[in-house]
Amino acid sequence: MQNVNATVTIAIDELPDNVVIYKFQDGDFVFVNINKNVEKTEHISKNELIGKKLTEAFPGVKDFGLFDVLMQVYRDGKPRELDTRLYKDEKTNGWRYNSVRKLPNGELIVFYKDMTRCKQLEDEVYSLDKETAQERRKVYLLAKALEQTDDMVLITDVNGIIEYVNDSVLVKTGYERSELIGNKTNIFKSGNHRNDFYKRLWKTILSGKNYNSVIIDKTKYGRLYYADLKITPLFDEERNIQNFVATSTDITSRIEMEKKLQKLATIDSLTEIYNRYKIDEAINLHIERHKRYKEPFCILMFDIDFFKKVNDTYGHDIGDRVLKALSRLVLTHIRKTDIFGRWGGEEFVVILENTSREKALHIAEKLRKRVEAYSIDKKYKITISIGVAEYSEPETREELVKKADEALYKAKQTGRNRVVVG
Asked if 388 and 298 count as a contact pair (C-beta separation under 8 A), the reply is: yes
Asked if 350 and 338 count as a contact pair (C-beta separation under 8 A), the reply is: yes
* CA quadruple 394, 397, 401, 404: dihedral sign: positive
Name the active-site residue from 42, 107, 346, 390.
346
Asked if 338 and 353 count as a contact pair (C-beta separation under 8 A), the reply is: yes
Q: Coil, helix or strand for 369? A: helix
Vertex 242 angle, CA 238 and 248, to 5°: 130
Asked if 29 and 69 count as a contact pair (C-beta separation under 8 A), the reply is: no
Asked if 299 and 283 count as a contact pair (C-beta separation under 8 A), the reply is: yes
Burial class, 323, CB count within 10 angstroms (exposed 0-12 / middle 13-18 / buried 19+): buried
Known active-site residue 346: yes
What is the rounded distance in angstroms from the CA atom of residue 346 to the CA atom of residue 304? 6
What is the rounded distance in angstroms from the CA atom of residue 357 to the CA atom of residue 354? 10
Point out which residues pair with 147 in neighbouring strands. Answer: none
Containing H/E element for 233?
strand 224-235
Burial 57-91 (b: 16+ CB within 10 A, else e): bbebbeebebbebbeebbeeeeeeebebeebeeee
Query: Angle at which helices 2-13 and 252-266 pack, to 10 degrees?
Result: 170
Enzyme catalytic residues: 346
